[in-house]
Amino acid sequence: MKLTLYRADCTGKANNAHYPIKVEVTSPEQMAAATVYDHVCAEYMNCHRKKENFLFANVLPMDCDNNHIDNAEDWITPEKMELLFDETAYVLIMSRNNMKQKGRYSPRPRFHVYFIIPDCTSMEHYENLKARMERAFPFFDDKALDSARFFYGSPGKVIWHEGDMNIENLLCLLGTNSTIQEGSRNNAMHHFAVTILKRLGKTKEAEKAFLEYADKCSPPLDTDELRSIWRSALNFYKSKIVTDPDYVAPENYAVPEWVDPIPFSRYSMAKFPIEALPTAIAEYAAAVAESTQTPVDMAGAMALSIMSLCVQGKYKIRGKADWFEPLNTYLVEIAPPSERKSAIINLMLRPVNVYEVQYNMRNAPSVEANKMQKRILEKQQRAVEEQMSKGKASQSDVDAIAQQIASFREVKPMQSYVDDITPEKLVNVIAENKGRAAMISSEGGIFDTLAGTYSRIVNIDVMLKGYSGDTIRVDRIGRESESVMNPALTVLLMVQPSVIESVLSNQTFRGRGLTARFLYCMPISLVGGRRYRSTAISDTVYRAYERAVVDMLSEDCPESPAIITLSDDADKLLAEFAEEIEPKLVTDYAEMSDWAGKLIGNTLRIAGLLCRSQNLKADDFLEENPPLIVDEATMEKAILLGRYFLNHAQAAYSVLPENSMCKAADKILSMIREKSLTEFDRRTAMRYCRCFKTVAEIQPILDQLEDYGYIARKPEKPSSTGRPPLPHYLVNPKCQ
């Protein structure tokens, strides 16, 4: 592949018209070096860029800014370019405005494409080619079709795409124009002859296709000239192509040398570091996993939510002098049906439920007395109001009852957590529980409620503020206003993969930072390998876990949260972890930077939970408990857990869509096996697998199956007219 460019010795000068430096480009490195400068793709008389000065070009530059549509899903990307121009030779360079705001248009993919064309010496033909390209592919800029187009220098990424066809061949195959103009006929015919010989060999079919293609020449080439071009192409084919050790002859190409297909990759999921949890909690989580025959991740990750439920609002942890994090967490465990989610929730919450029942039984008399006092005050209030209206009560009587009502505090039964709830009711629960609440559910229905599935109103403020501790203020017509200072909300949801996939694709949830607040856990299923007779949880292990949970749960909630601090060594470890993560927010974690940006804060919260849970506080023999300080060992464990959740968040953000791709590939493989196919075309696959609605949906799946060795594309006989033939695929006998 060879391109000829002409560059200036400057960059970014719109008023420059002098491009004296000729550059022959035959590699991506040369292209990158040349296009750093302002450049043009044609030679002009006296090196002066002007339409009337056009002399020669072998490159057709096209501009794609994606300004043709605002829907991001329909934007043209370099990956889509490869699908559209699979066998066409071109070079693509990301422009200097790629993914930047440009005028009134939002950041989006922007790039230049340099298509190979036969040598062209006609300005009219050159501009005609550009116009045909824009008609065939309307995403190219229709305001950049003149023959004196220049590009600003850009250090953008270079994509070097080899192909058997030049763009003029493709346009003719697409039928955008029926003629090959004088000035490019010989080159176009020679290139087509070599291409057809490479595909079909020296056959009657190849010669016939060549002659059909010659009908496009205007004016026609005479017979002797066509014979000369054909002989020249044959000589090139015999001397250069057939002798190439990598060339596969047409008679052999249709019969692939099949090898064992590569199994679809199953992603390497980090194992849950159960040893990072306090001993009593770790042993119980492991026992629950053994008893229920489920991954230890499910009980282990849930243990953090239980700790959070117990201590939220009671503590904050200080990362730096002006940085404090509350100890509540949001966690999503992603597992398909039949993973015994409800059983694990019941076992992990058992001491919380028992404590709540016992607490409410002990306090039932005081709760009832409080209700009676409330009714008495309300009755006294009505009586005073009536007496005052008749002039039989004084202002002091009114002030006295008003003071009693204002100082009255309603006592509610303990409610440790809720399940199925609306955002509006959740605010009420938080207000009634001294600013604290927990939501624990084995389903993901709350996401539908938050998204407005039932009310058509997206309401996620309580979830956002309940995580960060921002004041919640709610004013509604016909109801008393509610205001909660420093709210603390713990969320634990166990959902199916399809639920989290839709959640992460919800632009409102991601745009406002809801999905970034959750820790994600994606355990590897044990279904199919579970034992019926498993070891039951011992009473000793349960009692130790119960003591740890009750110790945290029974601690009084102070007016102001106690502060957990970091030792110097722990602070150093956290700083090193933060400095490791930060630069990767724009590289490794760019697709999930919203989540990764909160990882250090979540790790600090986990460190606070570990510190409190491993230090029992409810000790009758101590008048005052010592302050809590996170030591180096505890911070190491918190970072270990942080890395675990980072790995699983990468799976949730990146792997699930690819898992969907694997499932789609499985549908095509099922079609192959059920119908015992040895070959098929794309239309057959779309007809049988109804999940594919468009070519854009199915083609990446077919490409994946081909890359993994399950199928191989069958070479088609090119036609000189109409659209390119429909792709046909041969089936690897080893995947039947």
75-101 pLDDT tens trace: 899 988 887 787 788 999 999 889 888
Residue 557 reports pLDDT greater than 80 = yes
What is the average pLDDT across 489-495?
92
What is the average pLDDT across 511-537?
90
Residue 611 reports pLDDT greater than 90 = yes
179-238 pLDDT tens trace: 676 766 777 788 778 877 877 788 887 888 888 878 878 788 888 889 999 998 898 888
- Residue 283's pLDDT is 96
Q: By the 8 A CB rule, do 301 and 334 touch?
A: no
CA distance linking residue 524 with residue 271, whole number of Å = 9
- Residue 716's pLDDT is 61
Q: Report residue 631 as tokens.
A: 């030591």
Q: By the 8 A CB rule, do 423 and 460 touch?
A: yes
Q: By the 8 A CB rule, do 478 and 627 touch?
A: no
Q: Per mean pLDDT, which of 189-193, 274-278, 435-439, 520-524 is the most reliable? A: 274-278
CA distance linking residue 479 with residue 482, whole number of Å = 9
DSSP state of 238: I
3-class SS at 159? strand
What is the average pLDDT across 675-681?
85
Counts of helices then strands in the chain (DSSP H, E): 26, 24
Q: Per mean pLDDT, which of 238-247, 357-366, 451-460 is the most reliable? A: 357-366
Residue 250 reports pLDDT greater than 70 = no
263-311 pLDDT tens trace: 665 456 789 999 999 999 999 999 999 999 999 999 999 999 999 999 9
- Residue 656's pLDDT is 43
Range from 130-139, 353-362, 649-658, 686-695 carrying the lowest mean pLDDT: 649-658
Cis peptide before 725 (omega within 30 of 0): no
Backbone φ and ψ for 532, nearest 5 degrees, come out as -75, -45
3-class SS letters over 44-74: EHHHECCHHHEEEEEEEEEEECCCCCCCHHH
**What does pTM read for this prediction?**
0.56
Q: By the 8 A CB rule, do 144 and 36 touch?
A: no
Q: By the 8 A CB rule, do 516 and 252 touch?
A: no
- Residue 498's pLDDT is 74
Q: By the 8 A CB rule, do 315 and 561 touch?
A: yes
Q: Choose among 615, 610, 638: nearest CA to 626.
A: 615
Quote the radius of gyration of the chain (alpha carbons, Å).
35
Neighbours of 257 (CB within 10 A): 7
Residue 720 binned pLDDT confidence (cut-offs 50, 70, 90): very low
Q: How are beta strands 330-334 and 488-495 bridged, if at all? A: parallel
151-179 pLDDT tens trace: 999 888 899 998 877 887 777 665 545 56
Mean pLDDT of the chain: 85
| HSE-CB for 726 with a 13 A CA cutoff | 8
3-class SS at 716? coil
CA distance linking residue 36 with residue 395, whole number of Å = 85
CA distance linking residue 655 with residue 675, whole number of Å = 30
- Residue 389's pLDDT is 85
Residue 415 binned pLDDT confidence (cut-offs 50, 70, 90): confident
Residue 636 reports pLDDT greater than 90 = yes
Widest Cα–Cα separation across the chain: 125
Q: Where are the alpha helices (DSSP H) in 237-363?
A: 250-253, 279-292, 296-311, 341-362
564-595 pLDDT tens trace: 999 999 999 999 999 999 999 988 888 889 99
- Residue 218's pLDDT is 78
- Residue 478's pLDDT is 46
The residue with greater pLDDT, 642 or 499, is: 642
Residues 512/517/521/522 CA torsion (nearest 10 deg)? 10
| HSE-CB for 310 with a 13 A CA cutoff | 29
Q: Where are the alpha helices (DSSP H) in 176-315?
A: 185-200, 204-214, 223-236, 250-253, 279-292, 296-311
The residue with greater pLDDT, 707 or 29, is: 29
| Residues with Cβ within 8 Å of residue 480, at least 6 apart in sequence | none
Residue 245 reports pLDDT greater than 80 = no
Q: Choose among 53, 55, 3, 44: nearest CA to 20.
A: 44
Q: By the 8 A CB rule, do 671 and 679 touch?
A: no
The residue with greater pLDDT, 603 or 410, is: 603
Q: Choose among 9, 14, 4: nearest CA to 150.
A: 14
Residue 37 reports pLDDT greater than 90 = yes
Q: By the 8 A CB rule, do 317 and 325 touch?
A: yes
Q: Report residue 297 as tokens.
A: 């991740």
Q: By the 8 A CB rule, do 660 and 504 touch?
A: no
CA distance linking residue 569 with residue 634, whole number of Å = 10
CA distance linking residue 449 with residue 446, whole number of Å = 5
With DSSP H G I counted as helix, E B as strand and the rest as coil, what are the percentages for the chain, rounded to 5? 50, 15, 35
CA distance linking residue 642 with residue 599, whole number of Å = 7
Residue 477 binned pLDDT confidence (cut-offs 50, 70, 90): very low
Neighbours of 5 (CB within 10 A): 26
What is the average pLDDT across 498-510?
80
- Residue 657's pLDDT is 45
- Residue 330's pLDDT is 95
The residue with greater pLDDT, 140 or 661, is: 140
What is the average pLDDT across 714-728?
61
CA distance linking residue 236 with residue 233, whole number of Å = 5
CA distance linking residue 40 with residue 61, whole number of Å = 9
175-184 pLDDT tens trace: 545 567 676 6
Q: Choose among 470, 471, 371, 488: nearest CA to 429.
A: 488
Residue with tokens 């176009």: 188
CA distance linking residue 715 with residue 456, whole number of Å = 52
What is the average pLDDT across 634-649?
95
Q: Report residue 468 as tokens.
A: 């960060």
CA distance linking residue 295 with residue 651, whole number of Å = 17
